[in-house]
Amino acid sequence: MSTAVPALRYSVDETGALLAWPQGARRCVALAMRPDAAEIRGEGSPPVRLEWSENGVIHWAIDETARDRWQIAGWTQGRGGPFGIALRVSGHIESASHALIDATRRSWRRFSIGNDEYLSGGSLLPIVPSISSFNSCWRERSTLSALTTVLRDRADLRHRLGDAQRVYRLAADLMSGPLGLRAERTGIRRDTVDIYTAMRHAGFFHRFGRPLSRASLPNIDDVIVATRKRLDANPYRVGRHTPDEVIRKTAQKIYYDVEPWPFAALVD
């Protein structure tokens, strides 16, 4: 790929940290990920430490509860949705990042982000500052956002970032298979909706939008048994019977036939 088109790349740095960095874009930042914390890196400025516990949604500027947060976000917003990849920072993280913000902010970038930064709170640091629908970075942004969310919520997996072999495998998988965020399917027919609801109440849903790996999924027969118990206990289904084969087909479609995030190196 020509470096004329900004793109997100993954590699492992000399310290063993997983590095998400921009190729083909100048005066941008990179995100380094280690078991203890993440880190914003940029040329000519000291790195800024990001605690995993502070990863989360930054609310609108009028929401006074938005404090000390960082998240993966789009660089700008268009009619078709967000474009590019950025780090949105607020609170003490924003204060610590002023040098990086100044170093990465050009006049055209001030124009390209428009009012989004001011309305949404915090400040944006460009990773891949794309403003084109032909390079919206939707898949790359979704995958990186899911990865940081998993690392925030799963300390057991975060610890595995200290395993060099896993990190090299993870970087390669992330390069080859970014995926877009998947909307959950709930169905239209009554049986499908009831099965989906029963499965969710039984804990059979993808907490991070997609499976973390196929190997982490439970046996489908166990899912059918647990779902059947929930359906039979539903007082609004008295006198209504759904065959196990229907449960199996529905579970296969909405739970098993979902491509997992490329995080198997951390999970398996």
- Residue 150 maps to a domain: yes
Predicted TM-score (pTM) of the model is 0.88
Residues 138 and 11 reside in one and the same domain: yes
* pLDDT tops 90 at residue 113: no
Angle at 175 between CA 80 and CA 127, to 5 degrees: 55
> Do 199 and 167 belong together in one domain?
no
pLDDT of residue 246: 94
Average pLDDT, the chain: 88
% pLDDT > 70, the chain: 88
Domain for residue 185, yes or no? no
- 199 and 168 in one domain? no
171 & 223 share domain: no
Count of domains in the chain?
2
φ, ψ for residue 16 (rounded to 5)?
Answer: 90, 5
- Regarding whether 162 and 39 lie in a shared domain, the answer is yes
Looking at residue 26, what is its pLDDT? 85
Tell me: do 164 and 39 sit in the same domain: yes
184 within domain boundaries: no
Task: Give the pLDDT of residue 3.
Answer: 45
**Averaged pLDDT, 71-100:** 89
- Does 182 map to a domain? no
Please tell me whether residues 156 and 196 are part of one structural domain.
no
- Average pLDDT of the residues in 5-30: 92
Q: Are residues 159 and 197 in the same domain?
A: no
What percent of the chain is modeled with pLDDT above 90?
64
| Interval 49-70 mean pLDDT | 80
Does 86 fall in a domain? yes
Categorize the per-residue pLDDT at 121 as very low, low, confident or very high, splitting at 50, 70 and 90. confident
- Residues in a beta bridge with 8: 22
Burial class (CB in 10 A: 0-12, 13-18, 19+), 79: exposed
Q: How far apart are the first and last CA of the chain?
A: 31
Answer yes or no: is pLDDT of 115 > 50: no
What gap in Å lies between CA 187 and CA 194, rounded to an integer?
9
pLDDT for 157-214, tens place per residue?
A: 999 999 999 999 999 999 998 998 887 777 678 889 999 999 999 999 999 999 999 9
Instruction: Please give the residue that has the higher pLDDT: either 216 or 188.
Output: 216
The answer to whether residue 88 is domain-embedded is: yes
Q: What would the DSSP string read from start to end of the chain? A: --TTS-EEEEEE-TTS-EEEEEES-SS--EEEE-SS-EEEEETTEEEEEE-GGGBS----TT-TT--S-EEEE-SEEETTEEESEEEEE-THHHHHTHHHHHHH--HHHHHHHTTHHHHH-SEEEEEE----GGG--HHHHHHHHHHHHHHHH-HHHHGGGG-HHHHHHHHHHHHH------PPP--SSHHHHHHHHHHHHTT-S-TTSS-S-GGGSPPHHHHHHHHHHHHHH-GGGTT----HHHHHHHHIIIIISSPPPS-HHHH-
Where among 133, 150, 176 does a domain terminate? Answer: 176
Given a cut of 80, is residue 135 above it in pLDDT? no
**Is the same domain home to 27 and 75?**
yes
Residue-number span of the structural domain to which 239 is assigned: 190-267
Cα separation of 242 and 249, whole Å?
Answer: 12
Looking at the fold, whether 83 and 153 belong to one and the same domain comes out as yes
Query: What's the pLDDT tens digit per position in 232-248?
Result: 999 988 888 899 999 99
The domain boundary, picked from 176, 201, 223, lies at 176
